[in-house]
Amino acid sequence: MVLLDGKKVSNDIKNEIAEEVKKMKANGEKVPHLAAVIVGNDGASLTYVASKVRACERVGFDSTMVRLSNTTSQVELLDKIYELNENPDIDGFIIQLPLPKQIDTQKVLLAVNPDKDVDGFHPMNFGRMALDMSTFIPATPFGILELLDRYGVDTQGKHTVVIGRSHIVGRPMSILMGRKGFPGNSTVTLTHSHTKNITQITSQADIIISALGVPNFLKAEMVKDDVVIIDVGITRVPDDTTEKGYRITGDVDFENVSKKASFITPVPGGVGPMTIAMLLKNTLLARERQLK
Ligand code: GUN
């Protein structure tokens, strides 16, 4: 069994990006600038945004965190987005999800300038992705592709089963794995809450990408020998033995499934760190695009 070490690979990617930034600085060019908008006080979202900002510092990007209160109106948030769209100093920005109830997420994502949409959530970028055009691929799916690529995991002609159809992970992943090229050329099954007899499907899978958010959902009896496992689950489970009072748990029963797997991502330290590295990569691409 080979551990798909997202922590190590994401560090490699950050070092590569830091080298690019050094060259930009040496040439007297402006460095990439990422802004992250966060609305409200959700603990997990604040943690994620803080690590995105820290990652920017680490590679030498400029970063701006925009914090808005939980009672922010739709109009106020849209005004902030128009401001970021127009600001020539900002190369890319993200709106951390989920948003409070009073805000229509679809309207907000549509307002982002597609050239600055480093999350790849704008319908134009999503459509471009589905049509194999150059675009911003959402960071988590992009990170999974990069992990498969760097470990040389064969995807061609394989049966990939994706669990969960979220707009951020499952749906784009199902499109990307079936695309022409590498990693891709897979035969894809997208499973979700209405799927019947999921074990019958997972037990035929060569590659399983689980983005469900149910701790320990995927058990050893549900997979075949030599399966490749990508665990995107990051559920906080209460745990008094830890300093924070919780631990992060994936969708996969790692202890038992890892005994059958050929490749597997750990949680934490698998897909999670890759997401941040690929957000930086998209921001670098956004900077390069602004120059064209
Ligand atoms: N919430 C959970 N994942 C993400 C992500 O990748 N980007 C944003 N903006 N919000 C998220």
For residue 213, the domain's CATH number is: 3.40.50.720
Q: Which amino acid is at 235?
A: T
Q: Which two tokens stand for residue 162?
A: 């994706």
Q: How far apart are CA 42 and CA 119, in angstroms?
A: 19
CATH code of residue 78:
3.40.50.10860
Residues linked to residue 36 through DSSP beta bridges, in sequence order: 65, 94
pLDDT (tens place) for every residue of the chain, 292 residues total: 999 999 999 999 999 999 999 999 999 999 999 999 999 999 999 999 999 999 999 999 999 999 999 999 999 999 999 999 999 999 999 999 999 999 999 999 999 999 999 999 999 999 999 999 999 999 999 999 999 999 999 999 999 999 999 999 999 999 999 999 999 999 999 999 999 999 999 999 999 999 999 999 999 999 999 999 999 999 999 999 999 999 999 999 999 999 999 999 999 999 999 999 999 999 999 999 888 7
In angstroms, how far is CA 39 from the centroid of its own chain?
A: 19
285 is a domain residue: no
Q: Which atom of ligand 1 is nearest to the CA of 94?
A: 9
Based on the fold, state whether residues 81 and 160 are members of the same structural domain. Answer: no
> Could you give phi then psi for residue 275, rounded to 5 degrees?
-60, -45
Q: How far apart are CA 291 and CA 264, in angstroms?
A: 39
What is the whole-number distance in angstroms between the Cα of residue 53 and the centre of ligand 1? 14
5 classed as catalytic = no
Residue 54 lies in domain: 26-113
By alpha-carbon position, which residue is closest to atom 7 of ligand 1? 96
| Non-local CB neighbours of 74 within 8 Å, separated by 6+ positions | 102, 103, 104, 107, 108
SS3 state at 41: coil
CB 286 less than 6 A from any atom of ligand 1? no
Q: How far apart are CA 158 and CA 205, in angstroms?
A: 8
147 is a domain residue: yes
Based on the fold, state whether residues 109 and 145 are members of the same structural domain. Answer: no
CB 96 less than 6 A from any atom of ligand 1? yes
CB 46 less than 6 A from any atom of ligand 1? no
Catalytic residue among 5, 80, 91, 96: 96
CB 251 less than 6 A from any atom of ligand 1? no
Residue numbers in the known binding site for NADP(+) are 164-166, 234
**Closest among 137, 121, 152 to 278, alpha carbons compared:** 137
Q: Which two tokens stand for residue 93?
A: 């920005």
Based on the fold, state whether residues 149 and 254 are members of the same structural domain. Answer: yes
Return the half-sphere exposure (C-beta side, CA atoms, 13 A cut-off) of residue 248: 13
pLDDT at 184: 97
52 classed as catalytic = yes
Instruction: Specify the number of domains making up the chain.
Output: 2
Q: How far apart are CA 285 and CA 141, in angstroms?
A: 16
Whole-prediction pTM: 0.97
Q: Which two tokens stand for residue 68?
A: 């808005």
Q: Which two tokens stand for residue 239?
A: 């745990």
The CA angle 211-213-215, to the nearest 5 degrees, is 115
The CA angle 275-210-218, to the nearest 5 degrees, is 135
196 is a domain residue: yes
236 is a domain residue: yes
DSSP class of 167? T
284 is a domain residue: no
